[in-house]
Amino acid sequence: MLRALNATSSSSFSKLFVSHSTLLCFFHLSISSNSKKMEEHRTPSAVQTNIESRSGRQSASLSKSSLKTKVGQSSSLSPSRRSRSPQSVESQRMQTSPKRAIGASQEKSPGSESEEGPFDICIPAIKGLVKLNKSILVLNREKRKELKCPAEQYLRPGMVLLKKFLGHMDQVKIVNKCRELGIGSGGFYRPGYRDGAKLHLQMMCLGKDWNPESRLYDKSRSFDGAVPPEIPEELRKLVDRALNTSHKFLRELAENVEEIPNMSPDICVVNFYSNSGRLGLHQDRDESEESLKKGLPVVSFSIGDSAEFLYSDVRDVDKAKKVMLESGDVLIFGGHARHIFHGVPCIKPNTAPEILVDETTKLRPGRLNLTFRQY
């Protein structure tokens, strides 16, 4: 009986243990099932947030990886790319800079800015702009100003200044003619030198071209092949009249005063100075040897804003004499004064006659200067 009781107890305990194990398994399966259901029933926004968070971490990781890769590529360039010779670098720079390539050419003169189009000395008219007539007071003030200065001034042997020689209408015609020629073929450009330096002015040549670097005259411009326009006949007549006036003035001044030789201009260098323009002391001695020996004069017309004009026997600004050239003035120097050093240190803004800056011509602020010579 005892043996039977022990067997019964052992059997009951085994059944109880099996039941307990089964219950635990069932409990774990239930929890796992509920977890999956909760995962499936999560809101879409929560899922999206989780995805974006993971995606951001992956992007950051990729960015760092890419950066390391690029740095590695940069530092591991082939020797041929890292050690380019200065010649190849300069060659590439010239290819990407047309102006530098032109300046480095042995066949073309540098410094021309005509590639951007000729310079216009007048401000283009604006459509619809109402033109206001000048008052009688302004017109009378300009007329009185013309009569203030002596008509002629003797500066030194061979050098004469004709004050206000060119009337207002003559000045308007000169501006219009220079503008017409200046925006065409062979018109205004900013000259320069092979080293890249530029003159502080715009230039146009009539009759023959003058190259500021070679200091030679030629039939055409070296950098674009343009042929300079001829000197208009009306300008030649003004030069003749100015020379005749200077001869008459010198004869009346005194008996032993050196006369200025006569000349027939076949060259005219037209310069336009902005208000910041200037020209250092120099000599005009690039004409023919015969012309220079005879002392054939330079005849200079001033139009627009006034300018300080320096002149001296030596290239020394401190020793130079100064005279103010105003719009309409004509300066003549020849004979013993033919080789003087001369220059324009500054322009006086807002000094041009009203008739030149109003709607009649609309000349830009600055000074227009025409110098006539005989080659």
Q: Is residue 221 scored above 70 in pLDDT? A: yes
pLDDT tens sequence across 251-294? 999 878 888 999 999 999 999 999 999 999 999 999 999 999 99
Q: Is residue 228 scored above 80 in pLDDT? A: yes
Q: Is residue 11 scored above 50 in pLDDT? A: no
Binding positions for Fe cation are 282, 284, 342
Residue 194, classed as helix, strand or coil, is: coil
pLDDT (0 to 100) of residue 256: 81
CA distances from 169 to 13, 124, 166, 267, 355 (A): 136, 20, 8, 24, 9
Compute the half-sphere exposure of residue 13: CA atoms within 13 Å on the CB side of its CA.
6
CATH fold of 114-373 reads: Jelly Rolls (2.60.120)
Q: Is residue 52 scored above 80 in pLDDT? A: no
Q: Which is more confidently placed, 16 or 202?
A: 202
Compute the average pLDDT of residues 104-118.
50
Return the domain boundaries, the chain: 114-373
**Strand residues in the chain grouped as ranges (E):** 152-156, 159-162, 202-206, 209-211, 216-218, 267-273, 279-282, 298-304, 306-312, 321-325, 330-333, 341-344, 347-348, 367-373
Other CB atoms within 10 Å distance of the CB of residue 152:
18
pLDDT (0 to 100) of residue 132: 55
Q: Is residue 360 scored above 60 in pLDDT? A: yes
pLDDT tens sequence across 181-199? 999 999 999 998 889 999 9
Binding positions are 282, 284, 342
Q: Which is more confidently placed, 188 or 76?
A: 188
